Amino acid sequence: MVVELFLDLLSQPCRALFIFAKKNNIPFVFKHVELLKGHHHSEEFGKVNVLKKVPALKDGAFTLAESIAILLYLSRKFNTPDHWYPSDLQKRAQVDEYLSWQHATIREKGCKIFITKVLVPLAGQPFSPETLEEAVEELNSALKQFEEKFLQDKPFIVGNEISLADLVAIVELMQPIGVGCDIFEDRPKLSEWRNRVEEAVGKELFQEAHEIILNIKELSNLQIDPQLKEHLAPVLRKMMK
């Protein structure tokens, strides 16, 4: 049975799932849930994921939320190549280690830059240069840890082959790139790693997945769903303090 993936490629975790499924020839139906139009708050989508977040998976009557859980489910269901989530105990532990660490570091800090430069203006809130500068500094600190702890002098996070850890990392690090924050500049080790990841997944697929984020200026012409804007306003105001 073909699985259904509910995605918006504006979202980093959705891009990771999209790339993983396409790269591994996993049969799936792409269900587009447009975040800026508030589709994730619809009653219909709520039946798939009561948390009202993307990504989400539907496999027959079975539904699943959370990107890491979905990636692991797909890797097991479709028996994808071992390098993605190694059977070797210690290599798998290294993948798990990165996936556990990245939520409050790479993901959180990269998201803050995107939110400050894109979502805040779209939601009609005042842009804060100070908040942006703080977010960039925080991400720079996280990137230093990423290079020293996880990447070191290896081709990929878990050695010589790409894994889920690399895939989850790269989609997060492309988010600041889309809003004009080139985090790879003056970081040769990080830049070379990015090139290896792109080669491993395929440059065409990589570009397809990141097309929307790399053309983010087009979003400036969009109108956020009024109800979503109302929902976002207090959250963004609190975040910008």
Give the pTM: 0.92
pLDDT at residue 203 is higher than 90? yes
Average confidence (pLDDT) over 166-190: 95
pLDDT at residue 126 is higher than 80? no
- pLDDT of 196 reads 98
Higher-pLDDT residue of 171 and 217 is 171
pLDDT at residue 239 is higher than 60? no
Q: Which two tokens stand for residue 189?
A: 């080790």
Instruction: Return the closest-CA partner of residue 212 out of 201, 222, 227.
Output: 222
Per-residue confidence band for 13, with pLDDT thresholds at 50, 70 and 90? very high
Average confidence (pLDDT) over 165-169: 98
Mean confidence (pLDDT) of the chain: 91
- pLDDT of 73 reads 98
pLDDT at residue 217 is higher than 70? no
pLDDT at residue 223 is higher than 80? no
